[in-house]
Homo-oligomer: A and B are copies of this chain.
Amino acid sequence: MAASDILRQLLADVRDGNISVDAAMRALDGGEYVDIGHAKVDTGRVVRTGAPEIIYGEGKHPEEVADIAKVMLSHGANVLVTRASAAVHEALLPVDHRAVFNARARTVSIVQRPVPAPPTYIAIVTGGTSDLPVAEEARETACFLGNTVKMVPDAGVAGIHRLLGAVDTIRGARVVIAVAGMEGALASVVGGLVDKPVIAVPTSVGYGASFGGLAALLAMLNSCAAGVGVVNIDNGFGAGYLASMINRLGLY
């Protein structure tokens, strides 16, 4: 059932007296949430956007993360925490012993209902080994959301043959994620090689005039290859999420 149908149903329910005006005002747009004091947990999100809950762990106390996870799990959702420390993992294990920690990606995931993946896959290309943590976050996110992922690590443009050697894997994907720091040229070269959407992730790998990833970000935004969309610096999660949306198009 599409989200707009939900909204229409809500108004029909008001018309028909099935729900009160007060409830409708609280739940406008089909969105329901559970208020746990420090956060409004968006339990209507699965209905509204089709996605399980993903928690941004940075700046949250491990117990706060656990509180949110508990509510989500009790509503039947899988849970992924990004920017998670080992302490978050420890706080989540008592909540659900299936909690898995990926230290490089800095993610904790709890999967109670595995999501089936479509036959197509997502390729993740990285410029250098230092870009791997961001690529891993993208991979974890995409897998969590129900996708097959193939990695093409360490394929920076300074050794273009490494990239060309993996061209079949890259071209076989339905959508490609290009992860690179420094000058971020990878996005342009990949974009020129494939006829598929490319999601570019600048990373903060570099020093000096990389200005924390700004150089790669600007380069990717100015890519001379068409078909490239850019996400925030080091935002592996965002790239994995968007790639999943594209890879799963037609499945919903």
Chain A contacts to B: CB under 8 angstroms: 2-4, 7-8, 11-12, 14-15, 17, 21, 24-31, 33, 38-40, 42, 44-45, 48-51, 54, 56, 58-60, 64, 127-130, 132, 153-162, 164-165, 167-168, 171-172, 174-175, 182-185, 187-189, 191-197, 199, 202, 204-235, 237-238, 241-242, 245-246, 249-250, 252
Contacts and interface: CB of A to CB of B under 8 A. Distances in A.
A29 B222 contact: no
Report copies per complex.
8
Contacts of A245: 195-197, 227
A237 to B, nearest CB: 7
Contacts of A191: 158
13 contacts: A3-B193, A31-B165, A158-B225, A182-B223, A183-B187, A195-B252, A196-B249, A208-B212, A214-B218, A215-B219, A216-B222, A229-B229, A250-B250
Given A42-B162, A183-B220, A226 B59 contact: no
Given A11-B24, A161-B30, A245-B196, A3 B171 contact: yes
A154 B232 contact: no
Contacts of A59: 129-130, 205
A80 to B, nearest CB: 11
A238 to B, nearest CB: 6
A59 B211 CA distance: 16
Contacts of A214: 209, 218
Contact of A164 (B28, B40, B50, B234): B28
Contacts of A172: 2, 4
B226 A51 contact: yes
